[in-house]
Amino acid sequence: MSLKIKKGIPLIDQHDKNFMYGGKFGGNFIPETLKKPIDDLTKLFNKLRKNKKFIKERDFYFKTYVGAPTPFIKLDNLTDHLGGAQIYAKVVSEANGGAHKIYNATVHCLIARKAGKKFIVGDTGAGYAGKMLSMAAKKFGLKCKIFMGAKDIKRQRPNVESMRKNGAEIVPVTTGSQTLVDAVSECMRYWVANCDTTHMCVGSTVGPNIFVKICAWSTAQISRELMSQVKEEFGKIPKKMKLLNCVGGGSSAMGFWNEFMDTDAEFIGIEAGGPKNSKLHAAPLTNGSKIGILHGSAQYVIQDNEGQIGRTESISAGLDYPGISSLHCFLKDTKRASYTSASDEEALKAYQLVSKLENISPSLEPSHAFAEAIKLAPRLKSSEVIIVNSCGDSLKDKDIIKQKLGSYVR
C-alpha cells in the first residue's frame, strides 16, 4: 500500500489514533510519567489553536516581537553568476534573534503561560533554539533553563553568550557525543522529573507527537508570509518552483513548505552530509537509515543493527542530529518531498559565495541548502524559480568559519 498525503488537511493532523503518520512515523514512545503532561498539553494546544483570541495574540507577537513578515528577496548576483534558474531567498534570519527558532519559542512561551507554568526548559544544538527560548522566556516572564551539549557550547559561543545575557541557566550536557542528541535526552529526563511545574519546549519538529505539532504549527508562519510574497512577486505561484531548505530536525523546512503542501511547488530538503570522505553524517533520509525510535518518536534514524543510536558529524551544530522529524519521514515516503545532502565543504563554499555576492550571509545550516541551489541552478531554465530559506545568519558561526577558512567575511 502506498502512502498518500490528504489534501485540505494540515499535515500535522494526518496521523492515526496512536499519533502515527502513515502508520509508522511519530507516535508517543514515552515513559508513563510523561503520559499525563503530554495529554494535558495536547488538549490545551488543540483548544488554543481553535481559539480566535489566542491566534490574534500569536499574530500580534509574530508581528510586533518576531517582526513579520521577514524579507523575500531576489539574489540577482548569484542568479547571474550561476546562469540558469532565478534564485530567491526568504530571509528568515531577519526575524528577531536571527533565525526561525523564534516562532516555536514564542508559541511555547504563550502556551506555558496559558498552562500556568512558571518554568520553561528547552534543548539546543546550534544554540538558536536556546537563544530564542531564553529571549522569549525573558519577554514573557518565565524562568528558563537550556540544555546544550558541551561540544556545542564550545563551537557556538555567540549564541551561548546571548542565552546568558537573557538570564537563562545553561546546563552543559557531557554524556554521549555531547551534541544535540544528548541535549534533547537530558532535557526530556529533566522534564520527567519536573513536569508538574515546568513546561518543556522541544527545539525542533521532533520528540513526542505534540512537540512535532506545536513546532510545525509555529514555523508555518514562514510559508504563510512566503505565499503572499510569491503571489505578489509573480502574480501567481510559478509553475516550476523549487523550495530548498536545510533539514536537521526539520522545523524550518516544515514551516517553509507547509502552506505550499497542496500546490505544485517542489520541496527539496538538504541534510548534513558531514565532512567529505567521512563515514559520519547526519543525513538519515539521504542515506537510507532504518526506522527506529528516538526521543519518543518513530523515524528514520542513524543507528546500528542493534538499535543503538549512531554518532553523527557535521560542521553545522543545528543539523547535527541522528534523527529527523516524523513529518519529513512521511513526506519522503509519500514522495511529496525529496531529500539530498551537502558536505561540510560544500556548505562552506556556498556560505563564501553567497556572502561575497549578496547582502545576506547565511549560517552554515542554510548554507547546505544554498550548496544544492548552486548545484541545481545552472542546469535549470531561466523561467524556473528556486527559493532558499535563509533561516540563520553566519555571525554565530564566525569561530568555525575563521578556523576553516582563515578569515570571516560577512
Partner 1 sequence: MKSKIALAFENCKKQKRPALITYTVAGDNTRKNSLKILNKISKHADILECGFPHNTPIADGGQIQGSSHRALKNGTKLKDVFQIVKKFKKINPSKPLILMGYFNLIYQNGENKFLNNCKKSGVDGLIIVDLPYPENKNFAKKCKKRDITFIQLLSPTTSKDRMKKIIKDSHEMIYYISMLSTTGGRLKVSPKKILENYNRIKRINPKKNLVIGFGITDKTISSLKSANGLVVGSMLCKIITNSLKMGQNPVTKLDKVVYNLKKKIL
Q: Where on the chain is the footprint of partner 1 (CB under 8 A)?
A: 18, 27-37, 175-176, 181, 185, 188-189, 192-196, 290-296, 303, 305-309
Nearest CB to partner 1, comparing residues 51 and 197:
197
The pair phi, psi for residue 285, each rounded to 5°, is -75, -45
For residue 112, which of 171, 186, 172, 194 has the smallest C-alpha distance? 194
Q: State the nearest-atom distance from the C-beta of 336 to partner 1, in Å.
A: 25
Q: State the nearest-atom distance from the C-beta of 142 to partner 1, in Å.
A: 20
Nearest CB to partner 1, comparing residues 35 and 63:
35
Cα separation, 146 vs 154, in Å, equals 15
Sheet of 337-342, strand order: 72-74, 86-90, 385-389, 241-246, 266-272, 337-342
Q: State the nearest-atom distance from the C-beta of 293 to partner 1, in Å.
A: 4
Nearest CB to partner 1, comparing residues 233 and 313:
313
Q: 308-324: string of b/e by CB count within 10 Å (b at 16+)?
A: ebbbbbbbbbbbbbbbb
Nearest CB to partner 1, comparing residues 190 and 234:
190
> Cell 521532533 identifies what position?
206
Nearest CB to partner 1, comparing residues 181 and 364:
181
CA distances from 72 to 58, 231, 262, 288 (A): 22, 11, 21, 34
CB atoms within 10 A of CB 220: 21
Q: 79-88: string of b/e by CB count within 10 Å (b at 16+)?
A: bebbeebbbb
The three grid cell numbers given for residue 407, joined into one nine-digit string: 578569515
Q: State the nearest-atom distance from the C-beta of 301 to partner 1, in Å.
A: 8
Cα separation, 107 vs 137, in Å, equals 11
Q: State the nearest-atom distance from the C-beta of 43 to partner 1, in Å.
A: 13
Residues paired with 268 in a beta bridge: 244, 338
Q: State the nearest-atom distance from the C-beta of 248 to partner 1, in Å.
A: 17
Q: State the nearest-atom distance from the C-beta of 211 to partner 1, in Å.
A: 13
Q: State the nearest-atom distance from the C-beta of 141 to partner 1, in Å.
A: 24
Q: What angle do CA 322, 35, 143 make, to 5 degrees?
A: 75
Cα separation, 108 vs 218, in Å, equals 9
Nearest CB to partner 1, comparing residues 232 and 306:
306
Nearest CB to partner 1, comparing residues 37 and 362:
37
Nearest CB to partner 1, comparing residues 187 and 243:
187
Nearest CB to partner 1, comparing residues 159 and 204:
204
Q: State the nearest-atom distance from the C-beta of 307 to partner 1, in Å.
A: 4
Q: State the nearest-atom distance from the C-beta of 35 to partner 1, in Å.
A: 5
> Cell 503542501 identifies what position?
261
11 neighbors 330 (Cβ within 8 angstroms): yes
Cα separation, 388 vs 381, in Å, equals 17
**Residues listed for the chain:** 410
Nearest CB to partner 1, comparing residues 296 and 392:
296
